[in-house]
Amino acid sequence: MESLSEGVLKGDIRSTAKLMRYIEDEDIRAMGELKKLYSNTGKSHIIGVTGLPGSGKSSLINTLVENFRSSGKTIGVIAVDPSSPFTGGSILGDRVRMQDHSGDKDVFIKSLPTKGWRGGISKVTSRMITVMDAMGKDIIIVETAGVGQTEVEIKNLVHTTIVVLVGGLGDSIQSIKAGILEIADIYVINKADIINTEELESDIENLINMTITADNYESSWTPPICLTESINKKGIDNLAEEILKHKNLLTANGSFEDYFKNKSNNDLKEMIIDYLTGLLLKKLEDEDLYKKLLSDLMNNKKDPYSVAEEILTNFLNYRTSS
């Protein structure tokens, strides 16, 4: 019988969907398949799309996918949605907004709940990227959940980061510039037909100029500002061209390949943390001292800080404070 990893390498939709379900459920069976796939990765261009809620990220991606497909590119989309507090599942369902591509065998769309994970992404996003890369997708687009100012984690997962904004923010741009605004490789001002963009363009240009004149600025890439009307499919060609320019620069200076080296390093750390956390908790739960300390905590005899320090001191010979 063909393994799931073999099916993924052949581009089989059912095998890919089943493996992704294992990954999402943190099923141990996923690890064996991921091991077989890893050597077949390193080719896809990974694009992150982030921005504030209501900026039109999903409709922009929908139109961008159409543009990429017109040039023959195969596409994977990982749409990270906020989780339902009741079921833990996705509550926005970006796939609903991307039904235009549901019948296209060369477009694979996967929605993921954040499950409380930081930075508007899911804990398993990197593993989903691995699967789509091994599947042979030319381009993989990762859409963050749109939860606000903290969506900077996406920068570590992708080659090209697109920050989507809309006009009419006023002074609020000042409150978010230390977050998602500063991670952009490309700025997109969407819904340019509805809301005046001049003030926002000016603010972004000032931010870019401040960055360029900073002493620590060494990049050969100056983030462009693209105006789009995703609903009307305007400005998408220009955006696609800027994405290609950024990829070409990364390829020329070696950063495209470096990304996959960094991803391997991050994946290794993530796996070590997962394994060690599971092993440590299992060991602790079997120890009498842990049970006693937990009981003391539950009965308000001790605080969690003292309990954590005592656990680390006794089991790991590590002190958190002097």
| pTM of the complete model beyond 0.85 | no
Exposure letters 262-287 (e unless 16+ CB within 10 A, then b): ebeeebeeeeeeeeeeeeeeeebeee
Q: What CATH class is the domain 41-255? A: alpha beta
What pLDDT score does 287 carry? 84
What pLDDT score does 169 carry? 58
What pLDDT score does 88 carry? 44
Q: Which residues of the chain have pLDDT under 70?
A: 82-99, 114-122, 146-152, 169-180, 213-219, 318-322
What pLDDT score does 119 carry? 42
Q: Domain-by-domain residue ranges, the chain? A: 1-33, 41-255, 268-316
